[in-house]
Amino acid sequence: HWKDCPVIDVDSYRLKVDGEVERSLSLSYEDLKKLPQKRFQATFECCGNSPVPEYYTKSLRISSVMEQIKGHGIMGNAEWAGVSLKDVLEQAGVKGTAVEVMFEGADHGPDEVVGDPAEVTYERSLPLSKALHPDTILAYEMNGEPLPLNHGFPLRLLVAGWYGMNSVKWLVGIHVLDHKFEGFYMTQRYMTMNKPGSPEPYRYYTKLQVKSIITNPVPGEILPKGGYTLAGAAWSGEEDIEKVEISMDGGQTWSLVDTLHPRSGYSWSRWEHRWNPPAAGTYTLMCRATNSKGDTQPMDFPNPWDGRGYGNNMVFPVEVVVGDQ
């Protein structure tokens, strides 16, 4: 949220754990590394990843950062290592009065959109059930190396299967609460407006939605007439991907992709499909994923009431040209 990353001295670093616990803790980096290690892959996706269709941005005259995104690049996949948050909370002794766990980052500053508030710390909370899930970890390694500075060195929260903004970086405080946390980055960001008349006016984002993208080819690419191997990724956070379908005619007809690779841990699933175009010309390619719960990507933009791109998991068209050769 801010231009500069906090620089933390690992030798003097302490992680504070307090609130509705039997014992407050102050853990050093070495204290944490002595605990049992967990290691697995996880896909991270920003809640604002993926473009908003032009027909919404033009009609609503949206110009914020999230609505200027052109591709799907605010995401990635890595192998993470750290300690289970559950082990740390059990060390502290969570009281029966606990409801949520709030996580405090070392990063702070003015709100980057309008500058109000003039000073706010990046803080998010989790319900107790997710905080105590054994795969919610305090990560200190990424791809076998200490966390890079811009990924939260020396320690970050990693909420496997949830949108990236939940995984607080540069973690300095864990506060167990007896009430629902309503901080700025819980209630003023990362939500979209629901349909007028809905019981809840806003939707707040936690779990990753089922989603897939085509990574090869890229929009506008000129493909050979003799055939091409399409490729991409599909993910659904806590759920497995059951199937990925592909369309070469803008969604009129669909077929299963040739190969859908199993995921590792909480990673995306990669897929490939061999396509032999029937003729030269312009084609609109699409892919759509279905998860193990039966949820399928929507064909239309899911946030028409306010036009914001948060949680946008619609089916995305990719126009390509097949040449004569």
Average pLDDT over residues 36-57: 87
Render pLDDT for 128-176 as a digit per residue (tens, 0 to 9): 999 999 999 999 999 999 999 999 999 999 999 999 999 999 999 999 9
What is the CATH architecture assignment of 14-189? Alpha-Beta Complex (3.90)
Q: Can you give the C-alpha Rg of the chain in angstroms?
A: 22
Q: Is the pLDDT of residue 14 over 70?
A: yes
- The SS3 of residue 59 is helix
pLDDT score, position 68: 56
pLDDT tens profile 209-228: 999 999 999 999 999 989 99
pLDDT band with cut points at 50, 70 and 90 for residue 57:
low
- Looking at every residue in the chain, the average pLDDT score rounds to 92
**Which pLDDT score is estimated for 64?**
53
* Cis geometry, peptide bond prior to residue 148 (ω within 30 degrees of 0): no
Residues of the chain with CATH 2.60.40.650: 211-322
Q: Which residues lie across from 249 on neighbouring strands? A: 284
pLDDT band at 69 (very low <50, low <70, confident <90, very high): low
Does residue 236 carry a pLDDT above 90? yes
pLDDT tens string 248-264? 999 999 999 999 999 99
Confidence of residue 60 (pLDDT cuts 50, 70, 90): low
Question: What is the per-residue pLDDT across 293-307, written as a single tens digit (0 to 9) for each?
Answer: 999 999 999 988 888
DSSP state of 279: S
Dist CA 135 CA 165 (whole Å): 17
CB contact set of 136 (below 8 Å; sequence gap of 6+): 84, 85, 86, 126, 130, 157, 158, 159, 160
Nearest to 173, CA basis, from 306, 29, 16 = 16
Q: What CATH number has the domain spanning 211-322?
A: 2.60.40.650
Two tokens, residue 311: 């949680």
What pTM, to 2 d.p., does this model score? 0.91
The runs of H, that is alpha helices, within 128-252 are 128-131, 184-187
Query: Which of 95, 105, 97 minimizes the C-alpha distance to 16?
Result: 105
Provide CATH 3.90.420.10 ranges for the chain. 14-189
Look at 1-5, 51-55, 63-67 and tell me which has the smallest mean pLDDT: 63-67
- What is the C-alpha separation between 306 and 22, in angstroms, rounded? 44
Residue 202 one-letter amino acid: Y
Collapsed DSSP state (helix, strand, coil) of residue 306: coil
pLDDT for the residue numbered 324? 81
Q: Report d(CA 249, CA 262) in Å as an integer.
A: 27
E-assigned strand segments in 217-268: 222-223, 228-235, 241-247, 255-256, 259-260
- 23 Cβ contact partners less than 8 Å away, ≥ 6 residues apart: 91, 92, 93
Q: pLDDT at position 252, please?
A: 96
Closest CA to 25 of 86, 82, 103, 88: 88
